[in-house]
Amino acid sequence: MSRQNTDSKTPMQIKDLRIHSIAMADPPLRSSYGLHQPYALRNVVEIESIDGITGIAETYGGDNPRAALENLRGQIVGADAMRLLGDLQPLVHGEGGGSERSQVNLVPGENPLDTSARTYAAVETACLDLVGKSVGKPVCDLIGGRVRDKVSFSAYLFYKHGGGGGEGADARPDEYGECLTPESMVRQARQMADQYGFQSIKLKAGVLDPGQEVETLRQLRQEFGGEFPLRIDPNSAWKLETSLEVGRALKEELSNGGYLEDPCAGLDDLATLRQQLLSEGIDTPNASNVAVTSFAHLPENLHKDAVQVILCDHHYWSGMRQVQHLGKICQVFGMGLSMHSNSHLGVSLMAMSHVAAATPHLTYDCDTHYPWQSADDEIVEGGRVPIVGGCIEVTDKPGLGVTLDHDQLARGRERYDKCPYRKRDDTAQMRKHVDPAWERILPRW
């Protein structure tokens, strides 16, 4: 039962909810899911209080996430932003905690079992931004206080086809060029690291033959040196045996702050991989953003010691506060915590930065897709959020520290209305542009 405070009006009472479905150009990036569409989709949430202050959030795009937000309209409008998050608590954990809740098979944002967790997260972010903007405090200081002013991110490398994203007259310049070999990946890495100052690298793998991907990591290590942390993430494309071979082959390359992210699927195989590598003296941890995606997965994971580094993401881990709880659990049980990302713009980047700033036990640089998006699509006032020295600075600006550029938002909506995409479907893109018979086979190698 909602406990809305509609009788006596409080300054943070919500008078309006606006949901903007937008599209942004996205280059043809590859992963084991297939090929990115020419446009990535996002939903942007605005909640406005009766005294005219607006809180914002960015979440998964397309029709399904939008409908889930719309379903909460009756509970959101009229509620007090300070109390709403308590009233919506039943949404926090989502449904199911077994393998059906994992993200192995579905693209992020499309698993119905985490709909409520994702929806809660978007509402939480918008409420925290509204509260922060109302009281003049940054979100990180509202949720427990910052433990760092700068949040460091990792260069997120993708094999890709030629093209910069967008379609027709809206086709964008190809900043990074085609990249389907180890040599071109080193060029991509150098370009991205030089431009943004990243101090670590994550390679999205599961695209080329594993031998080629191992060679890519070797060349990256030669280019950046042994002190530069490297990670590899094939999104469950490998069998256990292949994961073992890669773990052995990359013993040195992944030894300094690196990890094997979702090499194979399922907690059992991940646990066997860990035990076998450890027995051979290889201490490369497993990381995951698909095998452990909810608190309900943690007991089994701990029991099996399958995943040693959890990738948090407030967008589907039920928001910022739950990520902080996750961090504490990881600390207590000796697990590492890193941060996952999906194609996103500046509102999400700032929300990720605020939660990272206020999460003490964050033990790795965070992931971000941000370098893959372009200034033309940015929806925050002032344009692209600067990444300097690989870091986002979390300032004292209230709320998330960013506001919406409504002209840019309108352009994003227009792009959404014009484009044919209503959910992410990397398989369809693969079939259209690369191989008409392509299937997502897991494991492929």
Catalytic site positions? 204, 340
Q: Which residue is it, tokens 């059992």?
A: 268
Structure tokens at 228: 């530069």
Please count the residues of this chain forming the interface with ligand GKR, following the rule CB under 6 A. 13
Closest CA to 384 of 367, 408, 360: 408
d(CA 78, CA 87): 13
Closest CA to 128 of 175, 91, 85, 87: 85
The helix (run of H) or strand (run of E) holding residue 35 is: strand 34-35
31 binds ligand GKR (CB under 6 A): yes
344 binds ligand GKR (CB under 6 A): no
Q: Check: CB of residue 430 under 8 Å from CB of residue 161.
A: no
Q: How far is the CB of 82 from Mg ion (least distance, A)?
A: 35
Q: How many residues does the chain have?
A: 445
Q: Check: CB of residue 138 under 8 Å from CB of residue 397.
A: yes
| The binder of ligand GKR chosen from 28, 62, 108, 138 (CB under 6 A) | 108
Residues 188-207 that bind ligand GKR (CB under 6 A): 204
Residues 289-318 that bind Mg ion (CB under 5 A): 289
| The binder of ligand GKR chosen from 129, 233, 365, 377 (CB under 6 A) | 233
| The binder of ligand GKR chosen from 200, 235, 286, 368 (CB under 6 A) | 235
Residue 253 or 367: the one with the smaller Cβ distance to ligand GKR is 367
Q: How far is the CB of 259 from ligand GKR (least distance, A)?
A: 11
- 289: alpha, beta or left, given left = phi > 0 and alpha = psi -120 to 50? alpha
Residue 250 or 404: the one with the smaller Cβ distance to ligand GKR is 250
338 binds, among Mg ion, ligand GKR, none (CB under 5 to 8 A by kind): none
DSSP 53: -
**Bridge pairing between strands 30-31 and 34-35:** antiparallel
Please count the residues of this chain forming the interface with Mg ion, following the rule CB under 5 A. 3
Distances (CA, A) of 394 to 133, 140, 361: 15, 8, 17
Stretch that binds ligand GKR, among 62-70, 138-146, 334-342, 389-397 (CB under 6 A): 334-342
* Contact letters for Mg ion, residues 138-157 (x by CB under 5 A): --------------------
Residues in contact with ligand GKR by the rule CB under 6 A = 29, 31, 33, 108, 204, 233, 235, 289, 340-343, 367
Residues in contact with Mg ion by the rule CB under 5 A = 233, 261, 289
